[in-house]
A and B are shown apart, each in its own frame.
Chain A
């Protein structure tokens, strides 16, 4: 076969593979993805059975651990709107009230209290901050200056 023709065929095959990969990635990512939401968005609308990736802060005083599960409320980063979450699975060390979490949830279904959601097993992740600033340094100084 003519070498130039051979190269052209190889190029077409390679490009076809690349296009197929991109197509497959696009298709599967949109069909497998969970919508990333904050609690206020969940309060606005949810589809039964659909899984959402919920991001927000754990509400102070809301964490209740029972024998088999942990219950807490998640609020918007900059708002007080919150939803209740019931979760079974691994709880990361940094998990605590006031900390930002990401968890896959779906609506709790019939019989459950309104605006309550069930976390998917082992999907709870808590942000691992490089520092924790719930508290400020002891006796903070009055003013800062740039040297």
Chain B
């Protein structure tokens, strides 16, 4: 099987090289057959990537440890669904996932656009195949997914327990879908610049892919934040880590692009800006993969192995992408990229969108600077220095406040120009809502008067009110013109102008999300306390009582998976019962350990499962670190007993039974004689709003990205026209 997989990669590389040559030569010579052949190379690449992907996944699911990548990332005790996900926990598997998603999304795009953008598409296909060639080459020459050993180990290392979370099955796929989908607008932008046809058509044709990329990447980022919040035992959801920032960068420029593209479609303006944005977004998507996979910056996500050489491949690709992007934009700036019109007034939607773009690009630049500062400072001063979250916050917080405000102002200003009186009429009601919120903040002084979150509450309320007002007005207008009920009118309003009204829903979600971030990060109470059974601590007005310890053995596939030590924590407020929380810590055995029979079970990885009572206004969050030092003398005695018994010929079956009994005894001992445990307790307001905001953004994004009936009709008409043109050409 490994031979077949490896052959698929070789054939895939050959397909890419052939497809690039065929597409470019076909486009330059006008030979349609070659262009078609180039396109089919992309489909062939997808088929080959799927075969290679399935072979690798099959090896993971069946625990075929002949594959080095399987032996070092999976095990028979890893549940089957995590074995599937274990593939992309490896360097090789993640590159394979990248290639498969790239080829899949690219093929879908090329199929959907068949017959349209006939001059641009061959070059776009060549660029997409170029990315395909890059990733197949990396897997053939650097990170080898089909490396095998003649004698398979009897057991693999297993998937890191920290990665055993449902998010592992979807978070990387969403991130990589975002990255790969962003390469599609990049490829079409390059094609459009090469043929000097930078009108709005290529933007309209590829906007849905940019929107899908934005949606997928945003979903991946939020899933990562949620994962961090519930799994890593520190209670945060964002740490400005380079790998987090890597995903945020293309998302920010992608957001800017999705707004500015409207200006080009409407007014034929900002062509240089849009081309630059889309090229930058594609490059940042590759840069994101590079940061995750190269280890060039110190990150908490150490996905990199010793002797890793992919960094050189990625550096070369990024340099080529930047150089060719700059060349194309500079050489086309005076003709193809010349704007068809100018900005009429600063009081116009164009200006608001431009301001939104400037803020988003400024945030991108701040994040890029902070992320790469260790390399910048080392290059300039010879000393590697790093900036922390406060540095990022001091710039991004005010910029985000402006951004949320603009998300309220922009949509209600008319195109070209408007007057102050018309603007006031559109914003009167939202302004009153914002004023009421401001008065509420002044009276109730949430968080002891910390001003920044209160400003966010005010601008967030304003943005939400504007969007709700527009949705309400649209629905009322439909009702006035038809005899539809409010729900039907609302549904049809969304269906008729998905981009506009889906956008309003996205704005509501973004405002809700940032209100949640502002409240939870500013007003939270955090405490690290050490409690014995029966003791309690009061944090944020809530009393947390360590009622009793919990301990159990958990099995998977008939084998011990982990030992779980935890606590029952009773939460009350003013004497009133709120909830029982059960934080715990799972101890996984060290695979292949040379330690004693019992020690092995405490020498592997350990992960926290938090106790969480989530609510609309407050989250009560508890993580526990049990003190296992009191168990260790017993554990060591157990090691000695088993070592002696094994030397005396204890049979494996009997050993397993006795070991199970010994570990059971340990858990009983922990329950009956619990040592004090360390607790991290967080009372955090409005964290729920972050996840709620993200869900609203997702729904709004889906509505905006979903093809409208008109768009489908247009696609069918375009295909028909292309067929007629082809037939006429043949005649």
Q: Which residues on A are within 8 Å of B, measured CB to CB?
A: 3, 7, 14, 21-22, 25, 28-30, 32-37, 53, 55, 65, 67-68, 88-94, 96, 100, 102, 104, 122-123, 125-147
Q: Which residue of B lies closest to A7 (CB)?
A: B342
Interface residue ranges of B133-162 to A (CB < 8 Å): 144, 146-157, 159-160, 162
- Kindly provide the distance from the CB of B85 to the nearest chain A CB, expressed in whole angstroms: 11
- Kindly provide the distance from the CB of A61 to the nearest chain B CB, expressed in whole angstroms: 13
Q: Which residues of B contact A104 (CB under 8 A)?
A: 388
**New contact pairs (20) apart from A94-B232, A133-B157, A139-B153, CB-CB < 8 Å:** A25-B365, A29-B385, A33-B386, A67-B530, A90-B680, A93-B607, A94-B162, A94-B605, A128-B300, A129-B303, A130-B302, A131-B90, A131-B159, A137-B72, A137-B153, A137-B591, A138-B591, A142-B150, A143-B149, A146-B144
- Pair B629/A65 contact, Cβ less than 8 Å: yes
Mind listing 6 A-B residue pairs with CB under 8 Å?
Answer: A91-B625, A93-B231, A130-B163, A134-B590, A137-B592, A147-B3
- Pair A29/B149 contact, Cβ less than 8 Å: no
- Assess whether B395 is interfacial by the CB under 8 Å rule: yes
- Kindly provide the distance from the CB of B129 to the nearest chain A CB, expressed in whole angstroms: 25
In order of increasing CB-CB distance, the 7 nearest A-B pairs are A141-B149, A33-B385, A137-B153, A127-B302, A138-B155, A141-B151, A36-B384
Q: Which residues of A contact B151 (CB under 8 A)?
A: 139, 141-142
- Kindly provide the distance from the CB of A112 to the nearest chain B CB, expressed in whole angstroms: 22
- Assess whether B431 is interfacial by the CB under 8 Å rule: no
Q: Which residue of A lies closest to B391 (CB)?
A: A32
- Pair A102/B590 contact, Cβ less than 8 Å: no
Q: Which residues of B contact A91 (CB under 8 A)?
A: 233, 625
Which stretch (B202-210, B370-378, B438-446) binds chain A?
Answer: B370-378
- Pair B154/A138 contact, Cβ less than 8 Å: yes
Q: Which residues of B contact A36 (CB under 8 A)?
A: 298, 374, 384-386
Choose from B299, B383, B384, B606 the contact partner of A93 (Cβ within 8 Å). Answer: B606
CA distance A6 to B235 in the complex (A): 51
Choose from A89, A131, A146 the contact partner of B89 (Cβ within 8 Å). Answer: A131
- Pair A34/B386 contact, Cβ less than 8 Å: yes
Q: Which residues of A contact B386 (CB under 8 A)?
A: 33-34, 36, 53
- Pair B298/A29 contact, Cβ less than 8 Å: no
Q: Which residues of B contact A126 (CB under 8 A)?
A: 300
- Assess whether B65 is interfacial by the CB under 8 Å rule: yes
- Assess whether B362 is interfacial by the CB under 8 Å rule: yes
- Assess whether B301 is interfacial by the CB under 8 Å rule: yes
Q: Which residues of B contact A132 (CB under 8 A)?
A: 157, 160, 605
Q: Which residues of A contact B152 (CB under 8 A)?
A: 141
- Pair A144/B369 contact, Cβ less than 8 Å: no
- Pair A130/B157 contact, Cβ less than 8 Å: no
- Contacts A3-B342, A130-B89 given; indicate if A135 touches B157 (C-beta within 8 A): yes
The CB with the most chain B CB atoms within 10 A, among A92, A94, A137, is that of A137
- Assess whether B239 is interfacial by the CB under 8 Å rule: yes
Q: Is the interface of A mostly helix, strand, loop or mixed?
A: loop
CA distance A32 to B369 in the complex (A): 13
- Pair B301/A128 contact, Cβ less than 8 Å: yes
Choose from A7, A125, A144 the contact partner of B149 (Cβ within 8 Å). Answer: A144
- Contacts A35-B385, A139-B154 given; indicate if A127 touches B299 (C-beta within 8 A): yes
Q: Which residues of A contact B605 (CB under 8 A)?
A: 94, 96, 132
- Contacts A131-B72, A131-B160 given; indicate if A29 touches B373 (C-beta within 8 A): yes
CA distance A37 to B383 in the complex (A): 9
- Contacts A33-B386, A53-B386, A65-B629 given; indicate if A137 touches B156 (C-beta within 8 A): yes
CA distance A142 to B159 in the complex (A): 23
CA distance A91 to B678 in the complex (A): 10
Interface residue ranges of B53-68 to A (CB < 8 Å): 65, 68
- Contacts A65-B627, A131-B160 given; indicate if A29 touches B387 (C-beta within 8 A): yes
- Kindly provide the distance from the CB of B633 to the nearest chain A CB, expressed in whole angstroms: 16
CA distance A30 to B453 in the complex (A): 27
CA distance A15 to B21 in the complex (A): 42
Q: Which residue of A lies closest to B233 (CB)?
A: A93
Q: Which residues of B contact A3 (CB under 8 A)?
A: 342
Q: Which residue of B lies closest to A26 (CB)?
A: B369
Q: How does the 8 Å CB contact mask read for B384-422 relative to A, with 1 for contact and 0 for none?
A: 111110110011000000000000000000000000000
Choose from B146, B235, B388, B629 the contact partner of A147 (Cβ within 8 Å). Answer: B146
- Assess whether B715 is interfacial by the CB under 8 Å rule: no
- Assess whether B294 is interfacial by the CB under 8 Å rule: no
- Pair B591/A127 contact, Cβ less than 8 Å: no
- Pair B89/A93 contact, Cβ less than 8 Å: no
- Assess whether B555 is interfacial by the CB under 8 Å rule: no
CA distance A68 to B530 in the complex (A): 7
Q: Which residue of A lies closest to B380 (CB)?
A: A30
- Assess whether B103 is interfacial by the CB under 8 Å rule: no
- Pair A88/B300 contact, Cβ less than 8 Å: no
Q: Which residues of B contact A139 (CB under 8 A)?
A: 151, 153-155
- Assess whether B6 is interfacial by the CB under 8 Å rule: yes
- Assess whether B608 is interfacial by the CB under 8 Å rule: yes
Q: Which residue of A lies closest to B395 (CB)?
A: A25
The CB with the most chain B CB atoms within 10 A, among A67, A128, A134, A144, is that of A128
- Pair A34/B301 contact, Cβ less than 8 Å: no
- Kindly provide the distance from the CB of A12 to the nearest chain B CB, expressed in whole angstroms: 15
CA distance A146 to B303 in the complex (A): 22
- Pair A93/B232 contact, Cβ less than 8 Å: yes
CA distance A122 to B298 in the complex (A): 18
Q: Which residues of A contact B593 (CB under 8 A)?
A: 135
- Pair B149/A129 contact, Cβ less than 8 Å: no
- Pair B362/A21 contact, Cβ less than 8 Å: yes
- Contacts A89-B528, A127-B300, A137-B156 given; indicate if A147 touches B148 (C-beta within 8 A): yes
CA distance A142 to B625 in the complex (A): 40
CA distance A143 to B232 in the complex (A): 37
- Assess whether B498 is interfacial by the CB under 8 Å rule: no
Choose from A88, A102, A135, A136 the contact partner of B528 (Cβ within 8 Å). Answer: A88
- Kindly provide the distance from the CB of B143 to the nearest chain A CB, expressed in whole angstroms: 12
Q: Which residues of B contact A130 (CB under 8 A)?
A: 73, 89-91, 160, 163, 301-303
Q: Which residue of B lies closest to A89 (CB)?
A: B528
CA distance A132 to B591 in the complex (A): 10
Q: Which residue of B lies closest to A53 (CB)?
A: B386
CA distance A140 to B233 in the complex (A): 34
Q: Which residues of A contact B300 (CB under 8 A)?
A: 92, 102, 125-128
CA distance A29 to B384 in the complex (A): 12
Q: Which residue of B lies closest to A94 (CB)?
A: B162
Q: Which residues of A contact B384 (CB under 8 A)?
A: 35-37
- Pair B366/A145 contact, Cβ less than 8 Å: no
Q: Which residue of B lies closest to A38 (CB)?
A: B384
- Assess whether B234 is interfacial by the CB under 8 Å rule: yes
- Kindly provide the distance from the CB of A88 to the nearest chain B CB, expressed in whole angstroms: 7
Q: Which residues of B contact A94 (CB under 8 A)?
A: 162, 232, 605
CA distance A143 to B149 in the complex (A): 6
Q: Which residues of B contact A136 (CB under 8 A)?
A: 157, 592
The CB with the most chain B CB atoms within 10 A, among A36, A89, A145, is that of A36
- Kindly provide the distance from the CB of B656 to the nearest chain A CB, expressed in whole angstroms: 16
CA distance A136 to B73 in the complex (A): 10
- Kindly provide the distance from the CB of B636 to the nearest chain A CB, expressed in whole angstroms: 14
- Kindly provide the distance from the CB of A91 to the nearest chain B CB, expressed in whole angstroms: 7
- Contacts A65-B629, A93-B607 given; indicate if A145 touches B148 (C-beta within 8 A): yes
- Pair B592/A33 contact, Cβ less than 8 Å: no
- Kindly provide the distance from the CB of A137 to the nearest chain B CB, expressed in whole angstroms: 4
- Pair A131/B157 contact, Cβ less than 8 Å: yes
CA distance A34 to B2 in the complex (A): 47
Q: Which residue of B lies closest to A88 (CB)?
A: B528
